[in-house]
A and B are shown apart, each in its own frame.
Chain A
Amino acid sequence: FVPQPRLQYVPVKGDHVIGIVTAKAGDVFKLDVGGSEQASLSYLAFEGATKRNRPNVQVGDLIYGQFLVANKDMEPEMVCIDSSGRSNGMGIIGQDGFLFKVSLGLIRKLLAPKSEIIQELSQLYPFELVLGMNGRIWVKAKTVQQTLIIVNILEACEYMTAEQRKQALAKLSGN
């Protein structure tokens, strides 16, 4: 457990985050992860990537990966494979969907083993969810309206109590 600052995210080795590709510099992508520095990601750090078989990453893409190197003296390095070489859910996040920011405290609440919020939301509509430790969440549901509803509920979970949340979800599932 590393105590997090309340506002800005500090890269920690092993953390899974959502990064936005800002530049392609030769063999390395530069990602914005919401920290003080941009993270670097090598094009070989994807599952099945070789020098001939490069991943199709463009500027503006979303990447879900983990930190390989993250200390206060060097630029953080990210990878999209784990130690055994498998992607394990990491990589380029697909098209569509919605990316938004929440506080770091809410992310940790959502990542807790039996998070009520996620369970209750999954009973509402089916959706895809990616949670980044840097405070970024990506949601994709069947329709744009459903996606936006989920986004609004997650953003409101910052300050809603469990009671208020259950009431809001009951109203929505009633509709």
Chain B
Amino acid sequence: QPLSPCPLGERLCSAEEATAGSGTYTRHGFIFSSLAGCLEKRSEDSGLPVVSVVRDAESQLLPDVGAMVTCKVCSINSRFAKVHILYVGSTPLKSTFRGTIRREDIRATEKDKVEVYKSFRPGDIVLAKVISLGDAQSNYLLSTAENELGVVVARSEAGVQMVPISWCEMQCPRTHTKDFRKVARVQPQFLQT
């Protein structure tokens, strides 16, 4: 059966012709769609056909423990940084997940001397690794405690993309001011010029 696109709130048919399935609701004797997706009509052996609205058929790729993720820092604190996970490996996610990078997981060495303000800032793009899925309420726990992990893209106060100088410093090409970040040493095969 061909799947026709169906907008939100569309009146599909009368409640006497079919039964409401998933993604639909009945009101005033008619069936309306509660999702924007594709209309699906399945004929049941017993009784009326079932009308349902289906969204994307593919399921979301979930980050697993040990997966390399690309995320964007949304806020920092003296104890941790909160991030939005944008990519898992090289596949972009349709809806971002939230992650946390704790202060002791930012670096592998000298963990107590770490300052979150000198490692990440809001708006930075960071390569991290998932260390825990967390429980029901908490976010993914991420770590940047490796040479290849850390800040990849960062903007200076002037709004210009900064150039990494060392593993802990980045410089703005316009104002030449140096900023502290935990910089990732990206493998040469991943760099594109």
The chain A residues found within 8 Å of chain B, CB to CB, are 69, 71, 73-75, 77
Contact = CB atoms under 8 A, between A and B. Distances in A.
Contacts of B122: 73
Contacts of B121: 73
A73 B78 CA distance: 10
Interface string B92-135: 00000000000000000000000011000110000000000000
Contacts of A69: 78, 117
A71 B78 CA distance: 12
B166 interface: no
Interface size class of B (residues with CB under 8 A): under 10
16 contacts: A69-B78, A69-B117, A71-B117, A73-B75, A73-B76, A73-B117, A73-B121, A73-B122, A74-B76, A74-B77, A74-B78, A74-B116, A74-B117, A75-B77, A75-B78, A77-B78
Given A73-B76, A73-B122, 14 more contacts: A69-B78, A69-B117, A71-B117, A73-B75, A73-B117, A73-B121, A74-B76, A74-B77, A74-B78, A74-B116, A74-B117, A75-B77, A75-B78, A77-B78
Nearest to A71: B117
Contacts of A71: 117
Nearest to B157: A72
Interface string B47-79: 000000000000000000000000000011110
Contacts of B75: 73
A101 to B, nearest CB: 29
Closest 5 pairs (CB-CB, A-B): A73-B76, A73-B122, A74-B76, A73-B121, A74-B117
A97 to B, nearest CB: 32
A71 B179 CA distance: 14
Contacts of A75: 77-78
Nearest to A40: B78
Contacts of A73: 75-76, 117, 121-122
A74 B78 CA distance: 7
Nearest to A68: B78
Nearest to A77: B78
Greatest chain B CB density within 10 A among A69, A71, A73, A77 is at A73
Contacts of B77: 74-75
